[in-house]
Structure 1
Amino acid sequence: MKRLWPLFLVVTLLAGAAARDGVDDWVARTELPALIVDSSVELRDRNGELLRVYTVADGLWRLPVSRADVDTRYVDMLLAYEDKRFWHHGGVDAVALIRAVMQAAWYGRIVSGGSTLSMQVARLLEDGGTGAWTGKLRQMRVALALERRIGKDAILNLYLQLAPFGGNIEGVRAASLSYFGKEPARLSPAQAALLVSLPQSPETRRPDRHPQTALAARQRVMQRALRDGVLQAEDIAAAIYDPVPKQRFGFPALAPHAADRGRARMPDRQRLTLTLDAGLQARLEDLAELSLRGKSERLSIAILVADHRNGEILASVGSRRYALGRAQGFVDMTRALRSPGSTLKPLVYALGIDQGLIHPETLINDRPVAFGRYAPQNFDGHFRGEITVSQALQLSLNIPVVLLTEEIGPGRLMAALRRSGAAPVIPGGKPGLAVALGGVGVTLRDLVQLYAGLAQGGQAVRLHMVPGGGAPGPRIVSRSAAWQVGHILSGLVPPDGEPRNHLAYKTGTSYGHRDAWAVGFDGAHVIGVWIGRPDGTPVPGVFGGDLAAPVLFKAFQRLKPALDPLPPPPPETLILGTADLPQPLQRFRGRHAVFEAAPDAPKLAFPPDGARLALEGGGLTIKLRDGAPPFTVMADGAAVLTGQYSRQINLGPVGNGFINLAVIDAKGRSDRVQLQIE
């Protein structure tokens, strides 16, 4: 009987308290613990699905939950097993308490403690023990006060949120997500019974560590529920095919970079909703990992998807994986400043169209050119001669776009980029011609925002991740210029193995092979892809077309089964061939560029320019290098020899004084020198 005295003492003290001060006064003077429970911050997607959950300060998973969020069968089983008279007692069940005393007297040990759910909540709120008589008395007093001050529903909600379920899991919602991988709104009878049984002994009944003990406890709850009419016999039979979980599910951790940023922006919000789509986010995170499988561990990747019709960001993958390592996975590469390579070229051509400098069918010269000391080169080192603007953009040639930038002005290019919503950073502060080739710092988000504006007919689109955060921006370029550029980009050949679906896209590779880009759009969505090393070191051999473009096409495939068509041309769009264009638009040539001779053009090796020669009655002999024969030699504008195949030619007497000598090869290329003959 020595083991029974605490229980008897609790009953005696409770009666004494009632007799001395009166129960009402005793309860009224009760100081309650804090009733506001710290819960995990959760982020949800556009459809209400969980994206990310954070632990509370003490490392516990404790999600906000109420009775309305939980399967009614679970609540019924809980009350039938733990507290049958919950809705009728005032916090302390005298019947259960007397029964516990009588059972203890009969069996010589405590069989049941007589605790109500209200008393259990009191213990959970104060993190108190269950055995000491002082603790039991305190639980009774707090339970009575809780009943009077907050009511049954609030007490039940507190239990649903605070009940321990093993490890660092608290609350039925966290437990359901952890053990079953789903919300507790729909539970099988076996799942509900397991959750009812766990709080009684959360560590020894953990199904991931003690499955047999958990199974036995679940069975006891189900048998009690069957006896009380909460379950039917067929529910018990079906439980045979519903094993207890052998391991815990991980809590959702999608879009970690975006979630961290959203939480930092709104630290007081317990629940945040983003425009992201959880299913798409998961598919693209999988694509990011798959795309770099077998490649250097130092490589990272970023993917950004948006609906350019309203600016909503649907998916944001910030790195290869959100983890420490050589790829610096905690760095959000959708917001890192990088060189965009050739991805700004469509904007340059759109501005050129708007300013009346070019048309897609305008001929532009791709040949060596210099702007003072700056002499841009094409990526492959070759020159194509006269080609159309459309071809120059599709081939991503450097010289034509620099010629055009020189006419437009780098400042105007940067102003247009800022109108799109981007925030470019110029090394040194003053833009030069190299900005057209990537000599500026932008983010993946900047580029996606720019291309969203082009896809929207030249109207800037403000990308946003919080619902309702978008607003129309200013005009970047005209409708017709935006359409013309999009039409050109939709004619690009897709990467090997990808469908020719007329996706309007552009690739880019930054100087030194540090960044590989691909950005594209259809009639509804825009996607940007970046691949490289977060520390900015070169990746030898990396090209946007080879590495990033296939990921772009696969991202669209994971977004939807088929592309939305691009819009038709606006009525004001001028669609003509080169020969039908107005004369000023048929050919473009930079006004201030100095074109250089091609490397294999003919050269007068002898005599050199500015030479003074004394021929003493003999003829003038010239020597040629490079060029394609036959050659034509001209002196002061008149042809003196034609059809020459030799590279050493004697011109005969040419007289004294100054003479302008020129040689023209079979391809029309030339070289000239000025001589003084004595």
Structure 2
Amino acid sequence: MIRGDRSAAAGGREKSRPRHRALALLALAGLLWTGALARDRAEAWIEATELPTLAPQLSVEMRAAGGDLLRAYTVDEGRWRMGLRPDQVDPLYLAMLRAYEDRRFDRHAGVDPRAVLRAAWQALRAGQVVSGGSTLTMQVARLLEHSGTGHWAGKLRQARLALALERQLSKDQILSLYLTLAPMGGNLEGVRAASLAYFGKEPTRLTPAQAALLVALPQAPEARRPDRDPWAAEAARDRVLARMTAAGVIDAETERAAQGDPMPRTRQPFPQLAAHLTDRARAAQPDLTRHDLTLEVPLQAALERLAASALQGMQPDLSVALLVADHRDGRILASVGSRGFAAQGQGFVDMTRATRSPGSTLKPLIYAMAFDAGLAYPETLIDDVPTDFSGYRPVNFDGAFRGPVPVREALQLSLNLPVVALTEALGPARVMAALRRAGVAAELPGGAPGLAISLGGLGVSLEDLVTLYAGLAAGGTARPLHWRQGEGEGPGAQVTSAVAAWQVGHILADLLPPDGGPRGRIAWKTGTSYGHRDAWALGWDGAHVVGVWIGRPDGTPVPGAFGADLAAPLLFRAFQHLAPEPTELAAPPRGTLLLPNDALPVPLRHFRRRGAAAPDAQAPRLAFPPDGATLDLAGASLPVRVERGTPPFTWLVNGAPVLTGQRRAEAFLPRLGTGFADVTVIDATGRSSRASIRLN
């Protein structure tokens, strides 16, 4: 069948009506005539009308910060039914609707006697319905009660209900019900649902062709569905356009142009952004029809695409979570709970809230607390040597030891021994109290907190860590996060001083970004939990804080996964979606000092564990090479010499053992290449000495 034949056939089907509908129109016309003669009885009859519920169940909507739709939920039987007011619709559509369906809508009292009498006369002459006599109010009555259109009793009930509705509701309220309930084909009800499904946009701005299609659909929603029969839909749309031209709503040129517009042939999916967070919001307040969240649609959509593509080529059961907040006011701007809600690897699990080991990501807080406590300063030397903490013997991730290092370097290299020593000096309970003040709901595996908390020996969520880092970025003031508009709590407790928080951020901003970009724009830290179960990266600029987690939702290890390798590149890609350039980090607070080690008070020059022996005359001292020396070895071995100390000696270069078991004070280290190198000697008692040199 050619297109014209199909359109004609569709039109013929729509015009064919049972003869009893003509009788229904005649009955209604008779009712109107009788009612005019018995006005008092008619009024009593109308007043006694039992009204159906005037608040139909609506799709729950999740709205973003700018009012854009993030996600909607279907009502009973999987139908899309979305509330809509006349002021939220393109005026052209409303003009077409009135001209096509009910020209005297604003003037009649629910039933239009002229339209009914005209339709009845036409039906009597033709033996079938030629034109409908139903007003928009009568159609609303039918939609509210799900009644049919043909039987005379149903028509009479619609007329009675329409007259009653006009006494209870304003014209705009009646029109809102029509805009919400009008059938649009399939499981679509209302103009807004149809506009989103067929055009992929809100109905605030419609083309003449789109407006005409939405006017035409409710008369035969299944026969005219553009995704099922685009030819019938096009024919119906063009008939509406022709009548609009005849009615003067549009001109002939607009009609010709609109007839040339392509007909949508498929339905577009409804938005489903932030699936995990929107489910959370709905569960928290199930009675709300509209939830206004703080998320930003462009950013949320971009990060969901980033999460979906970030792990391509890797195991399908790996997942990823991203969280972005504004640390100036605590608003969550984007929340991605997995690589895809329906993806493999338990994508339905919201990993922004899952409790996991944080690895090294708590170290910035501990260093800031140590600065506040006067235990250390960024240039304080701290020992990275094998240490027994009452039976707890942590090691660095790479298994190497570097001897005395500046605290700044210990944080940048994420060394374990120094931070455990600082945790011991602060007290684990004090660290836990600071976490609680920061808004972190940390979970301990059992009993009192121990030194292992500084290396990830507790449970936190990505949301917890972003909250913690938001507080550091906000000058050490706790910054509770929120995702519902109007529910921000404002600044919380002071967790660290502004100076200590800035010092930590200054140290972390000096790390080289994974993409080789410039330092100083983003303060960032990575972490890897025990057994490579979780890879973390968190960072902040002058406005935003971003957190990334990668791993398996079931907690099984991911061999070879490191935060610096997996999560850090994703962190910086997320920042690129926030702005072309990161917001400038805050300037140092008043009173901040940047001093070299030799300008510090003597107690701050070298951190010593509580109860550790004071330096003695027998401690080893690296006599050659001197600290800061530049040597031209021309490829030869490096001569080294130690004074004092207890042999045997272990020599390390850049933290890696080079010579062990050396009983002599002099030695030659194998060819080292060129560039900067740290040379460390450790004696049999664990005492050490270190020098940083440059080799040409």
Q: Normalising by structure 2, what TM-score?
A: 0.85
C-alpha spacing 1:644/1:450, structure 2 compared with 1 (3 Å): closer
Measure the CA separation in 2 of the matches of 1:588 and 1:149. Answer: 80
Residue matched to 2:495 = 476
Measure the CA separation in 1 of the matches of 2:400 and 2:102. Answer: 84
Q: 1:497 offset after TM fit, Å?
A: 5.1
Counterpart among 145, 149, 153 of residue 164 in structure 2: 145
Equivalent position amino acid for 1:502 in 2: R
Equivalent position amino acid for 2:244 in 1: A
Residue matched to 2:127 = 108
Q: Normalising by structure 1, what TM-score?
A: 0.87
**Which of structures 1 and 2 has the bigger CA Rg?**
1
Measure the CA separation in 2 of the matches of 1:670 and 1:25. Answer: 107
**Alpha-carbon displacement from aligned partner over 1:441-498 (angstroms, at most 9, x marks no partner):** 1111111111111111111111111233222111111111111111100011111455
Larger displacement relative to structure 2 (55-64 or 380-389): 55-64
Q: 1:603 offset after TM fit, Å?
A: 5.2
C-alpha spacing 1:2/1:297, structure 2 compared with 1 (3 Å): closer
Residue matched to 1:351 = 369
Residue matched to 1:276 = 295
Measure the CA separation in 2 of the matches of 1:86 and 1:571. Answer: 69
Matched, 1:393 2:407: no
SS of 1:520's partner is strand
Matched, 1:257 2:271: no
Residue matched to 1:82 = 101
Q: 1:160 offset after TM fit, Å?
A: 1.0
Q: 1:346 offset after TM fit, Å?
A: 0.8
Equivalent position amino acid for 1:631 in 2: R
Residue matched to 2:683 = 669
Measure the CA separation in 2 of the matches of 1:220 and 1:282. Answer: 39
Q: 1:207 offset after TM fit, Å?
A: 0.7
Larger displacement relative to structure 2 (181-190 or 264-273): 264-273
Matched, 1:538 2:557: yes
The runs of at least 4 aligned residues of structure 1 exceeding 6 Å deviation read: none
Matched, 1:196 2:229: no
C-alpha spacing 1:671/1:338, structure 2 compared with 1 (3 Å): closer
Counterpart among 583, 592, 604 of residue 573 in structure 1: 592
- Are the equivalent residues in 2 in contact too, given 1:341–1:508 (CA < 8 A)? yes
Measure the CA separation in 1 of the matches of 2:170 and 2:685. Answer: 99
SS of 1:369's partner is coil
Residue matched to 1:631 = 664
Counterpart among 449, 453, 461 of residue 471 in structure 2: 453
Counterpart among 371, 380, 394 of residue 376 in structure 1: 394
Q: 1:138 offset after TM fit, Å?
A: 0.8
Q: Residues 11-160 of structure 1 correspond to what in structure 2 (within 5 A)?
A: 11-13=29-31, 15-16=33-34, 22-160=41-179
Larger displacement relative to structure 2 (103-112 or 75-84): 103-112
Measure the CA separation in 1 of the matches of 2:456 and 2:582. Answer: 29
- Are the equivalent residues in 2 in contact too, given 1:103–1:111 (CA < 8 A)? yes
Matched, 1:502 2:517: no
**Alpha-carbon displacement from aligned partner over 1:156-208 (angstroms, at most 9, x marks no partner):** 22111110001111111111111111111111111000000000000110111
Equivalent position amino acid for 1:173 in 2: R
Residue matched to 1:676 = none
Measure the CA separation in 2 of the matches of 1:567 and 1:375. Answer: 38
Matched, 1:361 2:375: no
Measure the CA separation in 2 of the matches of 1:415 and 1:433. Answer: 14
- Are the equivalent residues in 1 in contact too, given 2:24–2:155 (CA < 8 A)? no
Q: 1:89 offset after TM fit, Å?
A: 2.2
**Alpha-carbon displacement from aligned partner over 1:502-533 (angstroms, at most 9, x marks no partner):** 31000000000000000001111111111111
Residue matched to 1:176 = 195
C-alpha spacing 1:103/1:391, structure 2 compared with 1 (3 Å): same
**Alpha-carbon displacement from aligned partner over 1:313-345 (angstroms, at most 9, x marks no partner):** 11111111112x542122111111110000001
Larger displacement relative to structure 2 (55-64 or 434-443): 55-64
SS of 2:576's partner is helix
Equivalent position amino acid for 1:331 in 2: V
**Alpha-carbon displacement from aligned partner over 1:623-649 (angstroms, at most 9, x marks no partner):** xxx7465626xxxxxxxxxx899xxxx
Aligned residues: 617
Q: 1:9 offset after TM fit, Å?
A: 3.6
Unaligned runs of 5+ in 2: 1-17, 615-619, 621-645, 650-658, 669-679, 687-696
Q: 1:570 offset after TM fit, Å?
A: 2.1
Residue matched to 1:415 = 433
**Alpha-carbon displacement from aligned partner over 1:525-548 (angstroms, at most 9, x marks no partner):** 111111111111111111000000
Measure the CA separation in 1 of the matches of 2:352 and 2:213. Answer: 43
Equivalent position amino acid for 1:527 in 2: V
SS of 1:370's partner is coil
Q: 1:561 offset after TM fit, Å?
A: 1.0
Q: Residues 466-615 of structure 1 correspond to what in structure 2 (within 5 A)?
A: 466-468=484-486, 469-496=488-515, 498=517, 500=519, 502-592=521-611
- Are the equivalent residues in 2 in contact too, given 1:14–1:137 (CA < 8 A)? no
**Alpha-carbon displacement from aligned partner over 1:208-260 (angstroms, at most 9, x marks no partner):** 11111100000000000000000112211221442111111211211122112
Equivalent position amino acid for 1:342 in 2: S
Measure the CA separation in 2 of the matches of 1:585 and 1:148. Answer: 83
- Are the equivalent residues in 1 in contact too, given 2:23–2:152 (CA < 8 A)? no
- Are the equivalent residues in 2 in contact too, given 1:305–1:315 (CA < 8 A)? yes
Q: 1:668 offset after TM fit, Å?
A: 6.1
Measure the CA separation in 1 of the matches of 2:19 and 2:268. Answer: 45
Measure the CA separation in 1 of the matches of 2:24 and 2:685. Answer: 113
**Alpha-carbon displacement from aligned partner over 1:69-128 (angstroms, at most 9, x marks no partner):** 111111111111111222222222222222222222332322123111111111101000
Q: Residues 218-257 of structure 1 correspond to what in structure 2 (within 5 A)?
A: 218-257=237-276
Equivalent position amino acid for 1:34 in 2: T
Counterpart among 322, 326, 346 of residue 307 in structure 1: 326
Equivalent position amino acid for 1:312 in 2: R
Measure the CA separation in 1 of the matches of 2:321 and 2:136. Answer: 50
Percent identity of the aligned residues?
A: 59
Equivalent position amino acid for 2:664 in 1: F
C-alpha spacing 1:380/1:668, structure 2 compared with 1 (3 Å): closer
- Are the equivalent residues in 2 in contact too, given 1:370–1:593 (CA < 8 A)? no
- Are the equivalent residues in 1 in contact too, given 2:648–2:683 (CA < 8 A)? no
**Alpha-carbon displacement from aligned partner over 1:334-380 (angstroms, at most 9, x marks no partner):** 11111000000111111111111111111111111111221001001
C-alpha spacing 1:576/1:276, structure 2 compared with 1 (3 Å): same
Larger displacement relative to structure 2 (351-360 or 489-498): 489-498
Measure the CA separation in 2 of the matches of 1:98 and 1:644. Answer: 115
SS of 1:568's partner is coil
C-alpha spacing 1:497/1:291, structure 2 compared with 1 (3 Å): farther
C-alpha spacing 1:326/1:190, structure 2 compared with 1 (3 Å): closer
Q: 1:582 offset after TM fit, Å?
A: 1.1
- Are the equivalent residues in 2 in contact too, given 1:509–1:517 (CA < 8 A)? yes
SS of 1:254's partner is coil
Residue matched to 1:296 = 315
CA-based RMSD? 2.4
- Are the equivalent residues in 1 in contact too, given 2:477–2:495 (CA < 8 A)? yes
SS of 1:670's partner is coil
Measure the CA separation in 2 of the matches of 1:594 and 1:586. Answer: 16
Measure the CA separation in 2 of the matches of 1:157 and 1:428. Answer: 58
Measure the CA separation in 1 of the matches of 2:19 and 2:537. Answer: 79
